[in-house]
Structure 1
Amino acid sequence: MTSILSSLGKTVLVGFILLALIVVTLGGSNVGSSAWVTFAFRFLHVISGVMWVGLLWYFNFVQIPSMPKIPDEQKPAVAKVIAPMALKWFRYAAMATVLTGFTLAVLNGYAHQAFTLQQPFLAIGLGMWIALIMAFNVWFVIWPNQKRALGIVEVDAATKAKSARIAMLTSRINTILSIPMLYLMVAQQNGGL
């Protein structure tokens, strides 16, 4: 058991194996049907979204407020090791969330109505647009600025400081947007509006 828990890859694999056993045990007779495929994309969408928003909130609730408390000699561990890995998962979780969400909207037949903000998919459509703005911010504002702030791309000290501030402020904008976005995504199918 220790070898499984010592490896993230093995841990995640065992989680999916456990899920498969549960599905089979509970009578996953509709596995492979169009309804199940749609559900599978919803499940992947939720997992991706949890990873994306979880990391967004980690950055804003934990890492950013903790950085001033970390001694200067220890900051390179965060900047050179932790932050780049967290930002990699952050970017690709954003991409996966958008792609699985779009696929889900197509499979359910409401993509056009949602994107054009028509009833009865106004809430999910607005949530989708907010998520697209957030994903744009991740890939085209936060990440380019973080590359400079973390020293992945060499720049002078003033540019590095300015880039760190832009990345932080944009991350805070995404934190603001994440709250109504999550509400709208849940409200659409659960009577929240």
Structure 2
Amino acid sequence: MNTKRLLPVLGLGLLSACSTVKSHRVRPDYEQVDKQQVKRLVVVTQPLPNGIPAVGELWSLLARQWVNQNRNFIAKSNLALPDRPGDTSFKGLCVEGLEGVLWLDPSITLKNKEGGAEASVKARLTRCRDGEEVWAAEAGGSWDSKDEDYAQRVEQYVQELGEEVRPYVVPSAKLLRATLDTLPNPQLNDADTDEKIELGE
């Protein structure tokens, strides 16, 4: 997938008053341990929102771009998988060079074709070395599918992923921004910083 054509999701616009982060937590030893050790991630959306692969890809792509642009994580890849995961440590995704898995467990229901959506997510960051949770959050809300501030961005994602994602882009982006804004921020060394710059997102 060529994501270089997509517009940045930096900022993701103003949040709707309807967005709600219900809870979030970070490991109590984060500053001493994971801040220096969990930086390189894969983002996975599983199961697929409404069973639609393109919408799952949209969620994972939005999340990957957001953490690369707004946190010091190096999110190297994103994917969307069907069915509920049997192993929520995601050890099978922890290939060489990855230190963590950012898992999105989504729910999104369109109100009508273009009128907006009710959406919620359970999100979790696990570390690859032992499958332990580093961070988790739950959020939900209701958003319109049309927002002039997002118009050009919507067209970019439609071009990349297909017309069926159109009504999902704005609600998904606003929900994920609210959720991921509770993520902690890892600390990068010089080599990490160079790697992040080369990533180019």
TM over 0.5: no
* Bigger RCO of structures 1 and 2 (CA < 8 A, at least 6 apart): 2
More strand by share: 2
Larger Cα Rg: Structure 1 or Structure 2? 1
More helix by share: 1
| Structure-2-length-normalised TM-score | 0.24
